[in-house]
Amino acid sequence: MPHWRPEALASEFAAGEIRLIRREAVGGVPAFLYETKIHPGGVSTRETTTEFWVGTNDNLLLKSETLTKETAQSSGGVETRYTVSCSYGPAPEIKPPF
């Protein structure tokens, strides 16, 4: 089964396209906050910023937030925000064999 991830993180990124911003906590869980900005080819009035939080202890995606800003005069300026929060439940207990 393929791993699910938000659409904003589904593509491949070149070196330097994702920046580490700082350490934060998401729901009390320590995390690294990363950011990437995308300018669609040929659309200079649109910018998409995606921030995502990855657990420092388990490298699991905890949350992602995508903000798209359209600054074209025809649109009058539009912002769209899309947030995904992830939870994984308790870790299963693994016992050694008898």
pLDDT in tens, the chain (98 residues): 345 556 666 667 777 788 999 999 988 889 999 998 877 666 677 788 889 999 999 888 888 888 888 776 666 677 787 777 777 777 778 888 87
Specify the pLDDT at position 87.
76
Residue 84 CA: distances (Å) to CA of 7, 35, 75? 10, 15, 26
CA separation for the pair 27, 63 (Å, rounded):
10
